[in-house]
């Protein structure tokens, strides 16, 4: 028998159980000012931190820097001698992220910011060279980013993809906008991919995670 589903009060409790500190609050404020995509929430960020710590990540690649919120969470979970690589087409976002990392006390040798299209950048990165890959960029590009991320991950590496419930749209067959349809198809693809061991977590707007076999 399936377990009972969590109700809204429990989900709200989960979202607020770990709170943002000042550097994360400021990064969210900056993201709103820049009009960048909504950053991953505290529960999703804490999940990323746990995943990075669980695999002892020394090399992480992120698609979609934003204002630096997810990067702070990921770098707080990875090994202190690790290097975090983040890709974003918007230089303004990466300038904001760099300021956010500094405010969080993260030294500049811990990360590299690559300004450019992920479509152009990802193929130049090393096969199997990363412990964790996080995708949080334009949703219609997700299938390509995920396929590239799987290539970049070592066996036992972790894939994480944000916004995979699309504000309940993915679960509603009547919602047919392009981003939701792409996300729905991506979930099926990852679910059926024999290279991956997946789970879909109801934190924030949905966090898809998978381990590469």
The per-residue DSSP string of 150-169 comes to HHHEEEEEEEEEE--STTTT
The token pair that represents 142 in the structure block: 């997700």
Examine the pLDDT at 20 and tell me if it is beyond 90.
yes
- What is residue 1's predicted lDDT score, i.e. its pLDDT? 42
Q: pLDDT exceeding 70 applies to what percent of the chain?
A: 97
Length of the chain: 213
Element (H, E) at 34: helix 22-34
pLDDT band at 5; cut points 50, 70, 90: low
The pTM of the full predicted model, rounded to 2 decimals, is 0.95
**Domains of the chain and any CATH numbers:** 8-212 (3.40.50.150)
Q: Calculate mean pLDDT across residues 71-84.
A: 98
Q: What is the DSSP string of 109-152?
A: GGEEEEES-HHHHGGGSPTT-EEEEEE-S-GGGHHHHHHHHHHH
Examine the pLDDT at 155 and tell me if it is beyond 80.
yes
> Hey, CA dihedral for 172, 173, 175, 180, is it positive or negative?
positive
Mean pLDDT, the chain, integer: 95
pLDDT in tens, 97-113: 999 999 999 999 999 99
Q: pLDDT exceeding 90 applies to what percent of the chain?
A: 92
pLDDT in tens, 23-51: 999 999 999 999 888 899 999 999 999 99
pLDDT in tens, 163-194: 999 999 999 999 999 999 999 999 999 999 99
């Amino acid at each position: 028998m399936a377990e009972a589903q969590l109700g809204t009060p429990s989900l709200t409790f989960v979202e607020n159980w770990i709170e943002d500190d000042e550097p994360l609050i400021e990064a969210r404020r900056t993201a709103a000012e820049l009009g960048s995509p909504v950053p991953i929430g505290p529960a999703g960020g804490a999940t990323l931190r746990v995943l990075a710590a669980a695999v002892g990540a020394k090399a992480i690649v992120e698609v979609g820097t934003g204002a630096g919120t997810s990067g702070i969470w990921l770098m707080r979970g990875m090994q202190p001698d690790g290097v975090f690589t983040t890709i974003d087409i918007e230089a303004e976002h990466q300038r904001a992220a760099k300021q956010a990392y500094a405010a969080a006390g993260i030294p500049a040798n811990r990360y590299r910011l690559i300004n450019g299209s992920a479509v152009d950048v990802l193929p130049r990165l090393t096969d199997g060279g990363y412990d964790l890959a996080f995708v949080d960029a334009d949703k219609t590009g997700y299938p390509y980013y995920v396929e590239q991320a799987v290539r970049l991950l070592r066996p036992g590496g972790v894939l994480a993809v944000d916004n995979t419930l699309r504000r309940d749209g993915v679960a509603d067959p009547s919602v047919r906008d392009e981003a939701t349809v792409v996300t729905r198809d991506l979930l099926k693809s990852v679910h059926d991919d024999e290279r991956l061991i997946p789970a879909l977590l109801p934190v924030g707007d949905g966090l898809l995670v998978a381990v590469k076999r």
